[in-house]
Structure 1
């Protein structure tokens, strides 16, 4: 029922009066207004800083956040490859280090270097110095590539973070469908020339439309 008093009240007072009269309608209105809108993935753009921090905390999480799932095999493949290279080179380095220490001492009970000898070969006083140099070179070789595999692992981690940040930043650039580059002839006026015939010349004009 229409009340004459309501016509003299401001809108806020009228709403308060309606809330007292019919509280259920207010609850239904608030529920509809407070309902979370469904995200539109067609226009959604990732946040570069959030993508970067996700990639720092969990490798590959930045690519998942950017919805670039095809990059995950590349990221995790790089991590697994570097981890395997480190494990292999570290094991070989430890074996050759032990063999080098055993061949350098005079203890006959320490002969771990025999596992690296060919079948039927043995170390004598004539070839001992050659094998000492050989084990030393191989020990240094595997140590170098063990350290290199660690740097490669760090590099893959850094590249995954940079890729997540750059990919999220580039997704915010709005490139119009009307972007076009046109090159067409044009007449260039040369006002500094005193000769009217030479006052204009033919040239090319480049225009970018977006």
Structure 2
């Protein structure tokens, strides 16, 4: 037997082994598929043998089943929420809470509702011009009213007194100038016996000087009255204008002793002791 024939026989044998192996593999794969097909057919036959159920009854049963499931779920959720709340309540009651002092609500409401009063300078000025002391009342500076009305009362008393004395000496001077020495206006102003031991010219000059003096005092009383009135008006305006002025510790004046270096001193030392005044804005 030749070498080529042997090779041919070995190839045929190997091909037959390969075909046999492939057939075994395909048979092993087809058997489960056939079994599965037989099982599906048997299951279909069993379903056909079962009694037919109406679709409405199936829907009712499905809905009832869903309701039971939802009710069971809701009960489980409610139980879990109640357990969680109970656990948190126990934690809150067991933990120590800080003691906080209660704040009175009346004081808070009063502080919120309290309005800051800021006077109007123009209105305060007009009230002070129309009514003496009206600007101070508008600015709510009531403690200034006794000072202002006291000044008005003093000026009014001085004006009345000086005017009365001026009229009396004016009448006495007229009677003395006319030579009517027996008039009551002269005897009421002069001490007893003064008319007999004093020359008439001197008495006439004295009456004239006193007349002029009381007239000057009367005029000064009028100016003082006007001055108090103007001061009340100016005070009302300035007080209203500076009502919201910022007064802080930065606005201050300080006076203290200090050692000052003098460049023009003659001698060995060019330092001197003095007082230093500093302003802070």
The counterpart of 2:159, out of the listed 58, 66, 86, is: 86
SS of 2:194's equivalent?
coil
Q: Are the aligned partners of 1:103 and 1:111 in contact in 2 as well (CA < 8 Å)?
A: no
Q: Hey, what does 1:62 align to over in structure 2?
A: 135
Greater RCO (Cα-Cα under 8 Å, separation 6 or more): 1
Paired residues in the alignment total: 143
Q: Distance in 2 between matches of 1:118 and 1:174?
A: 63
Q: CA deviation digits over 1:143-179, x for unaligned, max 9?
A: 00000100000000000000000001101223457x4
Q: Hey, what does 2:12 align to over in structure 1?
A: none
For the pair 1:122 / 2:183, whether they are aligned, the reply is no
The alpha carbon displacement at 1:180 in A equals 7.4
The counterpart of 1:49, out of the listed 122, 142, 152, is: 122
Q: Are the aligned partners of 1:59 and 1:157 in contact in 2 as well (CA < 8 Å)?
A: yes
Q: Distance in 1 between matches of 2:251 and 2:235?
A: 28
User: Unpaired runs of 5+ in structure 1?
Assistant: 1-37, 182-207
Structure showing greater Rg: 2
Note closer, same or farther for the CA distance 1:113–1:164 as it changes in structure 2 (3 Å cut). Answer: same
Q: Distance in 1 between matches of 2:161 and 2:204?
A: 22
Q: Distance in 2 between matches of 1:89 and 1:39?
A: 54
The alpha carbon displacement at 1:61 in A equals 0.8
Q: Distance in 2 between matches of 1:106 and 1:127?
A: 13
Runs of 4+ in 1 over 4 A off after TM superposition: none
Q: Hey, what does 2:224 align to over in structure 1?
A: 152
Q: Hey, what does 2:176 align to over in structure 1?
A: 103
The counterpart of 1:143, out of the listed 190, 196, 215, is: 215
Note closer, same or farther for the CA distance 1:180–1:89 as it changes in structure 2 (3 Å cut). Answer: closer
Cα-Cα RMSD? 2.4
Note closer, same or farther for the CA distance 1:170–1:129 as it changes in structure 2 (3 Å cut). Answer: same
Q: Distance in 2 between matches of 1:145 and 1:46?
A: 38
Q: Distance in 1 between matches of 2:179 and 2:160?
A: 31
Q: How does 1:4-43 map to 2 (within 5 A)?
A: 40-41=114-115, 43=116
SS of 1:44's equivalent?
coil
Q: Distance in 2 between matches of 1:150 and 1:39?
A: 48
TM-score, reference length from structure 1: 0.62
User: Unpaired runs of 5+ in structure 2?
Assistant: 1-111, 253-279
Note closer, same or farther for the CA distance 1:108–1:151 as it changes in structure 2 (3 Å cut). Answer: closer
Bigger proportion of residues as helix = 2
TM-score, reference length from structure 2: 0.47
Q: Distance in 1 between matches of 2:176 and 2:251?
A: 73
Q: CA deviation digits over 1:66-100, x for unaligned, max 9?
A: 11111001100000000000000000000000000
